[in-house]
């Protein structure tokens, strides 16, 4: 993406009373249980950010604090016609900076196993796959279950993680 296109993407917080206007992006991005859950989460979450391109709502990200200095990218979605233009990447860069500024040490995401676009997006920002066993080793079995519950991670999803070091390099 050129610098000009990149600067045309603006990221901003979305107040609760405007969030319903983001439903069409979720409807183009998810189906079934995920769609219902993403809509519910959009309305309930503390932090929702949107990407605006040419005054249109192009994408969104829903962020969650898992506690103990761990951040979570709950949902990230870009409207179909806006995909492949760097908007998901910019929303994720913004999310990583948000968690870094809050003093988080790691950022997690949970993605469906066959969701290649999403996997590429997270890998492009240095997320790597972790496992339920690795989480249990790191945080203890019970704490890892609590974390997975807070993520609402279900079987058939990859858990991805990125460390946030003091010298933040988002790419």
Ligand X SMILES: CC(C)(COP(=O)(O)OP(=O)(O)OC[C@H]1O[C@@H](n2cnc3c(N)ncnc32)[C@H](O)[C@@H]1OP(=O)(O)O)[C@@H](O)C(=O)NCCC(=O)NCCS
Residues in touch with ligand X (CB under 6 A): 29, 75-78, 83-89, 111, 115, 117-118, 120-121, 124
Q: Using N-to-C axis directions, what is the helix angle for 132-139 and 141-151, rounded to 10°? A: 130
- Compute the least distance from the CB of residue 164 to ligand X, in Å: 18
Least distance to ligand X from the beta carbon of 91, Å? 7
Which lies closer to ligand X via its Cβ, residue 104 or residue 108? 108
The least CB distance from residue 32 to ligand X, in Å, is 13
Least CB distance from residue 113 to ligand X, whole Å?
12
* Cβ proximity of 71 and 104 under 8 Å: yes
Closest CB to ligand X among 81 and 137? 81
Write phi, then psi, for 67 (nearest 5 degrees): 85, 170
Q: Considering the complex, state which of residue 65 and residue 157 has its C-beta at the smaller distance from ligand X.
A: 157
- Name the token pair of 17: 């009373």
- Residue closer to ligand X by CB (options 83, 132) is 83
The H-assigned helical ranges of 102-139 are: 116-124, 132-139
In the complex, which residue's CB is closest to ligand X? 88
């Amino acid at each position: 993406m050129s610098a000009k296109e990149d600067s045309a993407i603006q990221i901003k917080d979305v107040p609760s009373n405007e969030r319903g206007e983001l439903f069409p992006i979720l409807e183009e991005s998810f189906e079934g249980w995920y769609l219902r859950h993403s809509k519910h989460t959009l309305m309930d979450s503390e932090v929702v950010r949107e990407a605006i391109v040419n005054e249109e709502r192009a994408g969104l990200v829903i962020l969650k604090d898992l506690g103990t200095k761990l951040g979570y990218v709950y949902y990230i979605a870009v409207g179909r016609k806006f995909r492949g233009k760097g908007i998901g990447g910019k929303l994720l860069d913004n999310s990583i900076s948000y968690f870094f500024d809050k003093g988080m040490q790691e950022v997690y995401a949970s993605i469906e196993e066959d969701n290649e676009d999403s996997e590429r997006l997270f890998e492009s920002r240095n997320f790597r796959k972790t496992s339920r066993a690795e989480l249990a080793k790191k945080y203890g079995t019970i704490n890892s279950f609590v974390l997975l519950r807070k993520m609402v991670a279900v079987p058939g999803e990859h858990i991805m993680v990125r460390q946030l070091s003091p010298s933040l390099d988002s790419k």
